[in-house]
């Protein structure tokens, strides 16, 4: 179902998780990891077939999962799938807001609709997810987990749309921690740096290994994260050992944020220039 982790088996036995964007990438790995730890996992995606396929793969590996179709930009659709997940497996113990979009473009090189599309998917989608799920959360003890990114704190060339959306997610997490803490709901964010073998990084490193090698120059750890490493942090945050962690955004970037985004920004700047020259 997923690569080996260092956690005890059945860590999430009896728990129910709802994960948006769970049909692929980081969120798919989180879904598999939660299921392997014993949770019933509701995988939500705009592409219902992809979500259903991910759920079938988890069930084939011995987990319990269901695939549900919804676009995070539409609150009513998310409300409906949250209700479905609750009816399927009971109160939601974990909600992961992970759906996201990205592309490489300068502020003057993107349309207003392009900017809005990322903000609507990332920021508004995160709010829609957690607000729609709120009434179905197990109280107290539920975890709301938002997937942010290092761009939330690092100004990055050709990423103004993502920087703005992810910074909004960070403050949303903190604000909800203040509001919902008295209900026993924890709100936490994860801010991954570059993650290998994901669609997102393929978009940001368009020249394959050459772009990736250049990007690694800006990571003290000398490599990108694996999807499993991000999923393991998500598993820890859902575990009994993390019950006092609330209202924070946790970077998991191999030290990328210590050096800033210069190497990343230069790579993106070169990509934009090459694209312009090709026109």
Which of the four pLDDT bands, split at 50, 70 and 90, describes residue 5?
Answer: low
Reported as a single tens digit per residue, the pLDDT across 260-276 is 777 777 778 877 887 77
Per-residue confidence (pLDDT) for residue 184, from 0 to 100: 98
Per-residue confidence (pLDDT) for residue 1, from 0 to 100: 47
Q: What is the pTM of this model?
A: 0.93
Per-residue confidence (pLDDT) for residue 4, from 0 to 100: 53
Read off the pLDDT of each residue in 98-109 and give the average, rounded to a whole number: 95
In this structure, the number of other CB atoms found within 10 A of the CB of residue 208 comes to: 9
Read off the pLDDT of each residue in 165-194 and give the average, rounded to a whole number: 98
Strand pairing of 94-97 and 64-69?
unpaired
Mean pLDDT for all residues in the chain: 93
Reported as a single tens digit per residue, the pLDDT across 110-120 is 999 999 999 99
Read off the pLDDT of each residue in 144-168 and give the average, rounded to a whole number: 97
Per-residue confidence (pLDDT) for residue 169, from 0 to 100: 99
The correct CATH number of 16-278 out of 3.40.50.720, 3.30.1330.30, 3.40.30.10, 3.10.450.50 is: 3.40.50.720
Q: Which residues are bridge partners to 64 per DSSP?
A: 40
């Amino acid at each position: 179902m997923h690569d080996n982790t260092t956690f005890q088996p059945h860590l999430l036995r009896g728990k129910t998780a709802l994960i948006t964007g769970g049909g692929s990438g980081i969120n798919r790995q989180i879904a598999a990891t939660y299921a392997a730890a014993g949770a019933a996992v509701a995988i939500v995606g705009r592409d219902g077939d992809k979500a259903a396929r991910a759920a079938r793969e988890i069930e084939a590996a011995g987990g319990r999962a269901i695939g549900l179709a919804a676009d995070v930009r539409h609150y009513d659709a998310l409300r409906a799938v949250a209700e479905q997940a609750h009816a399927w497996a009971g109160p939601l113990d974990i909600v992961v807001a992970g759906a996201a979009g990205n592309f490489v473009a300068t502020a003057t090189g993107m349309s207003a609709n392009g900017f809005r599309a990322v903000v609507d998917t990332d920021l508004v989608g995160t709010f829609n997810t957690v607000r729609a799920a709120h009434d179905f959360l197990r109280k107290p003890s539920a975890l709301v987990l938002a997937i942010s990114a290092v761009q939330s704190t690092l100004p990055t060339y050709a990423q103004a749309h993502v920087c703005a959306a992810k910074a909004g997610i960070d403050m949303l997490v903190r604000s909800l921690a203040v509001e919902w803490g008295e209900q026993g709901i924890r709100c936490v964010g994860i801010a991954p740096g570059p993650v290998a073998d994901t669609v997102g990084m393929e978009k940001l490193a368009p020249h394959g290994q050459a772009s990736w090698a250049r990007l690694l120059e800006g990571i003290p750890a000398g490599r990108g994260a694996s999807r499993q490493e991000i999923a393991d942090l998500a598993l820890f945050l859902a575990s009994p050992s993390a019950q006092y962690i609330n209202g924070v955004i946790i970077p998991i970037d191999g030290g990328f944020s210590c050096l800033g985004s210069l190497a990343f920004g230069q790579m993106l700047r070169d990509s934009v220039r090459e694209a312009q020259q090709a026109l």
